[in-house]
Chain A
Amino acid sequence: MQALRLKSLFPESSFDVVRNFGLKWVGQLHPTPLSATYTVAISYRLRLRPEVTILDPPLVSRNGSRSPHVFKGEHPCLFRFKYREWDGAMYIADTIVPWVSTWLVHYEIWLATGVWCGSKEEHPAGSGSKNSSG
Chain B
Amino acid sequence: MIDTKAQHLGTMFEILGEELDVPERIYRDMISKYQHLGAWIREDSKDKFRADAEIYPQGSVNLGTTIPPVDATCGYDLDLVYRRDLVKSGITQAQLIEQTGDQLRRYIEHLEHQREPLPELTPRRRCWALNFKGHFHMDVLPAIPDDEADVYSLRNLGDAILITDKERCEWQHSNPRGYANWFHEREETVFAEQRRIAAKAFNVDVEMIPIGRVSTPLRRAIQLAKRHRDIRYTGDPEDKPISIIITTLAAMAYANEADAFEAFNNIAQRMRDFISFENGIWRVGNPVNTQENFADKWNERPERAVRFFEWLDALEFDLANAQQQSDLNQFAKALSPAFGKEIVERSLVRFGRRIDESHQKGDLRMAAKTGALGSSGAVVPKNTWYGEEQEPAL
**Chain B residues within an 8 Å CB radius of A87:** 394
Q: Which of B49-57, B167-175, B275-283, B362-370 lies at the interface with chain A?
A: B362-370
Given A32-B2, A111-B329, A105 and B385 touching (CB < 8 A)?
Answer: no
Residues of A within 8 A of B4 (CB): 33
With A85-B381, A87-B394, A105-B355 as known contacts, state yes or no: A32 contacts B328, CB within 8 Å: yes
**A-chain residues with CB within 8 Å of residue B387 when the two chains form the complex:** 69, 71, 77, 121, 123, 131, 134
Whole-angstrom distance between the Cβ of A91 and the nearest chain B Cβ: 10
Rounded to whole angstroms, the CA-CA distance of A132 and B317 in the bound complex is 41
Q: Is the CB of B366 within 8 A of A106?
A: no
* Most A CB within 10 A of own CB, among B329, B372, B378: B329
Q: Is B333 an interface residue (CB 8 A)?
A: yes
- Which of A28, A85, A113 lies in contact with B383, CB distance below 8 A? A85
Interface residues of A in 82-110 (CB under 8 A from B): 82-83, 85-87, 94-95, 97-103, 105-106, 108-109
Q: What is the CA–CA distance of A10 and B392 in the complex, to the nearest angstrom?
A: 29
Q: Which residues of B contact A101 (CB under 8 A)?
A: 366, 371-373, 380
Q: Is chain A's binding surface mostly helix, strand, loop or mixed?
A: loop
Partner among B333, B384, B389 whose Cβ is within 8 Å of the Cβ of A112: B333
The reply to whether A109 and B384 form a contact with Cβ atoms under 8 Å apart is: no
Q: Given contacts A9-B368, A12-B369, A116-B385, are A35 and B378 in contact (CB under 8 A)?
A: no
Q: Do B391 and A82 touch (CB < 8 A)?
A: yes
**With contact pairs A72-B390, A81-B391, A115-B349 given, residues A121 and B328 touching in the complex (Cβ less than 8 Å):** no
Residues A77 and B359 in contact, CB atoms below 8 Å apart? no
Q: Is the CB of A117 within 8 A of B327?
A: no
Which chain A residue lies CB-closest to B350?
A: A117
User: Would you give the 0/1 interface string for A115-129, flagging 1 where the beta carbon is closer than 8 Å to chain B?
Assistant: 111111101000000
Q: Is the CB–CB distance between A81 and B348 below 8 Å? A: no
What residue of chain B has the Cβ atom nearest to residue A91's Cβ?
B378
Instruction: Please tell me if A1 contacts chain B, counting CB pairs below 8 Å.
Output: no
Stretch from B5-13, B133-141, B248-256 contacting the other chain: B5-13
A3 to B1, CA, bound (A): 31
Option from B3, B326, B329, B393 in Cβ contact (under 8 Å) with A81: B393
- A121:B380 contact, CB within 8 angstroms: no
Give the complex CA separation of A101 and B372 in angstroms: 7
Q: How far is the CA of A30 from the CA of B367 in the complex (A)?
A: 10
21 CB-based A-B contacts, threshold 8 Å: A9-B368, A10-B369, A31-B372, A32-B328, A32-B372, A33-B2, A33-B4, A71-B388, A77-B386, A79-B386, A80-B384, A81-B392, A102-B364, A105-B352, A106-B352, A112-B328, A113-B352, A118-B356, A119-B385, A120-B384, A134-B386
